[in-house]
Amino acid sequence: MNRKHRQSSPPQSARSILQQISQVVHNPDRERFELWVAGDLVGVLGYSAEEVDGQRTITVLHTVLYDEYTGHGLGTRLTRGALAYVRDQGARVRPVCSFTKDFLDSHPGIVPLAPV
């Protein structure tokens, strides 16, 4: 029996697939950013917004993902989405959340920081 060998590209990693099908949605009524994957809510980044010294300040309180979605870069995707909003609003960020603080420490200058 002769079998034809197909040339195919390597399968995508779970990380790559999750990045492609995930979506960050701002939910201002609940003061959070939501991470949705294939129609399921899998993570949230909670914040509070206030005026401090005449400037809008977004305090990032926490970032939470379901355990099965950790380790695939989705927390970073969620954080980047929130920080893009902060930047677009011309606001400052106060990172109380340790994940966000670590992200900002390794990516300085993305957004202005507010004093803690």
pLDDT score of 9 more than 70: no
**Is 111 inside a domain boundary?**
no
Residue 68 maps to a domain: yes
Asked whether residue 31 is assigned to any structural domain, the reply reads yes
Reported as a pLDDT band with limits 50, 70 and 90, residue 15 is: low
The span from the CA of 76 to the CA of 102, in Å, is 10
CATH number at residue 35: 3.40.630.30
Write the pLDDT tens digit of every residue in 42-101: 999 999 999 988 999 999 999 999 999 898 899 999 999 999 999 999 999 999 999 999
Domain-embedded: residue 112: no
Domain that holds residue 79: 14-104
Number of H helices, E strands in the chain: 3, 5
E strands, 1-116, in order = 22-27, 32-37, 40-52, 55-65, 92-95
How many folded domains does the chain comprise?
A: 1
Residue 110 in any domain: the answer is no
Phi and psi dihedrals of 88, rounded to 5? -65, -30
User: Mean pLDDT across the chain, nearest whole number?
Assistant: 88
Residue 3 lies inside a defined structural domain of this protein: no
